[in-house]
């Protein structure tokens, strides 16, 4: 027995050792597998040190004082034969820039066409004069007589006086016409007010008619409600009588049933009839009770109908009273409208206005009527023009000839002046400089006077780019800028000349303007860095450690936590503010010390709270 117990204990001990060994192996391998599945991160200590800030930007080189080569207007429209320079070429004053084909410019061609048109106008005026003189209806005697009776000046003086009198008569008619118009407007206003008042009267009448109809309808509805109530009360009385009869019948049936029971008890009713008669009596009582219940329901229904019709009659009485009140109010309003004197007063005003208008109209007719003052003066003018028509027409024709000759002379002078401006076919440079822009092409006509742009010798260039307000605070006018990839550019000197608000976003940005001296070219794009101010900071991390999301900028640090199988490393978020940056690192502030491990890179994307493994160094 002891031997068996000892063997059993040995077996349990062996099994326990095997189980614990297996669990240890599984724990080891599970930890190893877990570690290999975690993201691997590279870290750096948070350090203190110095940050040297620089601001980088790029811009296009522009001319500081561009000079435009402008040709006279007579060259516009001429075709370019050839262009002797290209953008970037340096030219001296007097060098040929381009050649033009022979021909007139658009302005000169237009002037010549207008000269031809003026010549035709003069010829037409002369022809009209000659045709009038040679007319069969005009003789030399007519012309001499007209000249003897009235000179052109005398005719014009008389016509001028008559025209003045005509204008004065028209001016005199203006205030009278204004008075007539004002009286017409006053009459129209009165008529409009009469129409309005009449509409109110008609409305009062219509209201009475409507109120009468509504009252009659309400009275009929009240009578109908009264009749319905009377009928309902009759039906209720009938139902109550039926209920009374049903109650009497039930009482009789119950009495007969009670008498039967007495007869059965005292032996008056034979025993063999007792049961059948008892059943019959019970049925009779039951039937009587049902009849009474039905009668009670009819009474209740009749009472409900009587109450509803009583309410309807009350409502009908109320509606009738309201209709009566509205009828009385409508009749009172109509009586008030009938007593209103407004229409009569307005008619009296119209009569007064019409009387005044008659007087003004009579004055106006004396001036503007068919036989009025204006008509008489106009008749004198027409008669005078008719009698002196030959003189006037001759003078008008001669004036037309003189005007045409004057216009022709002026246009001829314009053509001569334009032709004097036309030089040779070569356009030369006014100054020495570098060609920065060409606005014409060989074989094409010149569309505008500006044909080229030069950068004058000795004049500088400039470039601009925009930065944030915080970046601008680190700069000062006069700072020297350095070229980025300076091996790519020629020798240039770039200096910050001004710091002004950026008009595209003046609240948050500044526009930097740099002078560019040296071998620059307009349109050239250059990149520079400016500002180089150093400062010591307590917390500096690599730029790759800075993260950003909707909540702002942050870093991930590694925190160590102990476990039964060893240390675990957790990525923990720390919100930070970037104080300064250079190409590789940034100074920050936040809730960290200077001895933290900050994550710079990881083999997989990680989030705050994720478990990570450190790189094997």
Q: Are residues 78 and 204 in the same domain?
A: no
- On average, the pLDDT of the chain sits at 80
> pLDDT confidence of 538, banded at 50, 70, 90?
confident
Residue 314 has pLDDT above 70, yes or no: yes
**How far is C-alpha 613 from the geometric centre of its chain's CA atoms?**
57
Order of all β-strands in the sheet with 90-91: 67-70, 450-456, 433-438, 90-91
Residue 133 domain-assigned? yes
pLDDT at position 315: 94
Residue 220 domain-assigned? yes
Exposed, middle or buried, 267 (CB in 10 Å: 0-12/13-18/19+)? exposed
Cβ atoms of 512 and 469 closer than 8 Å: no
CATH of the domain at 237: 1.10.287
Q: Are residues 144 and 158 in the same domain?
A: no
Structure tokens at 413: 């002078």
Residue 462 domain-assigned? yes
pLDDT at position 304: 93
Q: Give every CB contact of residue 611 below 8 A, 6+ residues apart in sequence.
A: 38, 568, 569, 570, 571
Q: Which range among 14-23, 254-263, 517-526 has the greatest average pLDDT?
A: 254-263
What domain range includes position 263?
A: 153-347
Please give the average per-residue pLDDT across 286-290, as a whole number: 90
Residue 474 domain-assigned? yes
Residue 484 domain-assigned? yes
Please give the average per-residue pLDDT across 112-127, as a whole number: 76
pLDDT at position 106: 58
Cβ atoms of 209 and 255 closer than 8 Å: no
pLDDT at position 575: 94
pLDDT at position 146: 46
How many Å apart are CA 409 and CA 390, to the nearest integer? 29
Residue 511 has pLDDT above 60, yes or no: yes
Q: Are residues 82 and 127 in the same domain?
A: no
Q: Are residues 73 and 221 in the same domain?
A: no
pLDDT at position 318: 93
**Among the three residues 468, 498, 532, which one is the final residue of a domain in this structure?**
532
Residue 574 has pLDDT above 90, yes or no: yes
The count of structural domains within the chain is: 4
pLDDT at position 553: 92
Q: Are residues 181 and 243 in the same domain?
A: yes
Specify which residues 597 forms β-bridges with.
Answer: 45
Question: How many other CB atoms are there within 10 angstroms of residue 311's CB atom?
Answer: 12
Cβ atoms of 580 and 53 closer than 8 Å: yes
pLDDT at position 149: 46
**Among the three residues 532, 558, 592, which one is the final residue of a domain in this structure?**
532
Q: Are residues 77 and 10 in the same domain?
A: no
Residue 330 has pLDDT above 70, yes or no: yes
pLDDT at position 104: 57
Q: Are residues 92 and 205 in the same domain?
A: no
Please give the average per-residue pLDDT across 571-575, as a whole number: 92
pTM for this entry: 0.33
Q: Are residues 145 and 217 in the same domain?
A: no
Q: Give every CB contact of residue 493 below 8 A, 6+ residues apart in sequence.
A: 516, 517, 518
Residue 458 has pLDDT above 70, yes or no: no
How many Å apart are CA 68 and CA 120, to the nearest integer? 41
Cβ atoms of 461 and 60 closer than 8 Å: no
Classify residue 79 by its DSSP letter. Answer: B
Residue carrying structure tokens 């409508």 = 330
Question: How many other CB atoms are there within 10 angstroms of residue 46's CB atom?
Answer: 22
pLDDT at position 45: 85
Residue 25 domain-assigned? yes
**Percentage of the chain modeled with pLDDT above 90:** 14
Cβ atoms of 59 and 484 closer than 8 Å: no
Between strands 509-518 and 461-468, the pairing is antiparallel
Cβ atoms of 76 and 444 closer than 8 Å: no
Question: How many other CB atoms are there within 10 angstroms of residue 10's CB atom?
Answer: 10
Of 141-145, 178-182, 209-213, 481-485, the least confident: 141-145
> pLDDT confidence of 439, banded at 50, 70, 90?
confident
Residue 272 domain-assigned? yes
Q: How many CA atoms lie within 13 A of 153 on its CB side?
A: 0
> pLDDT confidence of 2, banded at 50, 70, 90?
low
Q: pLDDT digit string (tens) for 126-174?
A: 877 777 666 645 555 445 544 444 555 666 677 678 788 888 888 888 9
Q: Are residues 323 and 180 in the same domain?
A: yes
Residue 52 has pLDDT above 80, yes or no: no
pLDDT at position 216: 92
SS3 of 257-292: HHHHHHHHHHCCCCHHHHHHHHHHHHHHHHHHHHHH
Please give the average per-residue pLDDT across 324-340, as a whole number: 87
> pLDDT confidence of 206, banded at 50, 70, 90?
very high
Q: Which residue has the higher pLDDT, 380 or 74?
A: 380
Q: Are residues 146 and 162 in the same domain?
A: no
Going by C-alpha positions, the residue among 570, 614, 576, 578 that lies closest to residue 593 is 576
Q: Which residue has the higher pLDDT, 412 or 208?
A: 208
What does the DSSP assignment read for 497-551?
EEEEE-TTSTTTEEEEEEEEEES--TT-EEEEEEEEEEEEEEEEEEGGG-EEETT
How many Å apart are CA 204 and CA 214, to the nearest integer? 15
**Among the three residues 470, 501, 532, which one is the final residue of a domain in this structure?**
532
Residue 450 has pLDDT above 70, yes or no: yes
What does the DSSP assignment read for 153-171?
HHHHHHHHHHHHHHHHHHH
pLDDT at position 247: 92
Residue 413 domain-assigned? yes
Q: pLDDT digit string (tens) for 75-88?
A: 676 777 778 788 87
Q: Are residues 188 and 305 in the same domain?
A: yes
Q: Give every CB contact of residue 104 below 8 A, 6+ residues apart in sequence.
A: 74, 77, 78, 112, 422
Q: Which residue has the higher pLDDT, 99 or 386?
A: 99
Of 248-262, 307-321, 402-416, the least confident: 402-416
Q: Are residues 327 and 179 in the same domain?
A: yes
**Percentage of the chain modeled with pLDDT above 70:** 81
pLDDT at position 191: 92
Residue 257 has pLDDT above 70, yes or no: yes
């Amino acid at each position: 027995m002891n031997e068996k117990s000892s063997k059993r204990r040995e077996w349990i001990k062996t099994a326990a050792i095997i189980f614990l060994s297996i669990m240890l192996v599984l724990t080891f391998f599970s930890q190893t597998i877990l570690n290999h599945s975690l993201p691997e991160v590279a870290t750096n200590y948070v350090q203190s040190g110095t940050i040297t800030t620089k601001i980088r930007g790029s811009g296009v080189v522009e001319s500081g004082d561009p000079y435009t080569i402008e040709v006279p207007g007579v060259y516009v429209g001429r075709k370019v034969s050839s262009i002797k320079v290209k953008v970037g070429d340096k030219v001296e004053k007097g060098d040929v820039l381009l050649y033009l084909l022979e021909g007139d410019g658009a302005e000169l061609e237009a002037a010549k066409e207008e000269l031809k048109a003026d010549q035709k106008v003069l010829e037409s005026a002369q022809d009209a004069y000659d045709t009038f003189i040679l007319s069969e209806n005009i003789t030399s005697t007519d012309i001499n007589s007209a000249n003897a009776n009235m000179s052109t000046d005398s005719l014009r003086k008389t016509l001028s006086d008559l025209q003045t009198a005509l204008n004065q008569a028209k001016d005199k008619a203006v205030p009278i016409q204004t008075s007539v118009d004002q009286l017409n407007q006053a009459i129209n206003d009165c008529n409009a007010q009469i129409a309005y008042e009449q509409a109110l009267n008609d409305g009062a009448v219509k209201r009475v008619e409507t109120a009468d109809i509504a009252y009659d309808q309400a009275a009929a509805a009240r009578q109908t409600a009264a009749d319905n109530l009377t009928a309902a009360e009759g039906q209720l009385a009938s139902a109550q009588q039926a209920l009374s009869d049903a109650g009497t019948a039930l009482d009789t049936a119950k009495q007969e049933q009670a008498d039967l029971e007495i007869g059965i008890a005292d032996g008056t009713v034979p025993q063999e009839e007792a049961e059948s008669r008892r059943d019959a009596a019970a049925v009779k009582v039951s039937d009587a009770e049902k009849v009474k219940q039905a009668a009670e329901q009819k009474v209740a229904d009749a009472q409900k109908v009587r109450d509803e019709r009583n309410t309807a009659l009350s409502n009908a009485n109320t509606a009738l009273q309201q209709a009566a009140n509205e009828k009385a109010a409508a009749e009172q309003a109509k009586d008030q409208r009938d007593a209103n004197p407004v229409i009569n007063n307005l008619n009296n005003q119209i009569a007064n206005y019409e009387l005044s208008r008659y007087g003004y109209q009579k004055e106006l007719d004396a001036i503007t009527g068919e036989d009025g003052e204006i008509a008489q003066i106009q008749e004198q003018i027409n008669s005078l023009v008719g009698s002196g028509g030959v003189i006037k027409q001759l003078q008008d024709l001669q004036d037309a000839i003189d005007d045409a000759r004057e216009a022709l002379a002026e246009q001829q002078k314009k053509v001569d002046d334009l032709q004097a401006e036309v030089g040779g076919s070569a356009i030369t440079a006014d100054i020495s400089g570098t060609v920065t822009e060409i606005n014409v092409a060989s074989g094409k006509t010149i569309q505008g006077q500006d044909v080229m742009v030069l950068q004058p010798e000795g004049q500088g260039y400039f470039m601009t780019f925009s930065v944030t307000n915080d970046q601008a605070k680190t700069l000062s006018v006069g700072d020297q800028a350095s070229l980025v990839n300076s091996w790519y550019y020629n020798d240039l000197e770039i200096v910050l000349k001004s710091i002004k608000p950026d008009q595209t976003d003046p609240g948050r940005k500044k526009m930097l303007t740099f002078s560019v001296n040296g071998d620059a070219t307009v349109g050239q794009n250059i990149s520079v860095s400016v500002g180089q101010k150093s400062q010591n900071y307590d917390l500096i991390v690599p730029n790759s450690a800075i993260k950003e999301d909707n909540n702002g900028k942050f870093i991930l640090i590694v925190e160590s936590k102990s476990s039964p199988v060893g240390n675990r490393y957790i990525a923990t978020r720390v919100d930070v503010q970037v104080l300064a940056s250079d190409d590789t690192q940034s100074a920050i502030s936040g809730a960290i010390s200077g001895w933290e491990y900050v994550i710079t890179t990881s083999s997989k994307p990680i989030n705050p709270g994720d478990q990570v493994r450190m790189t094997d160094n």
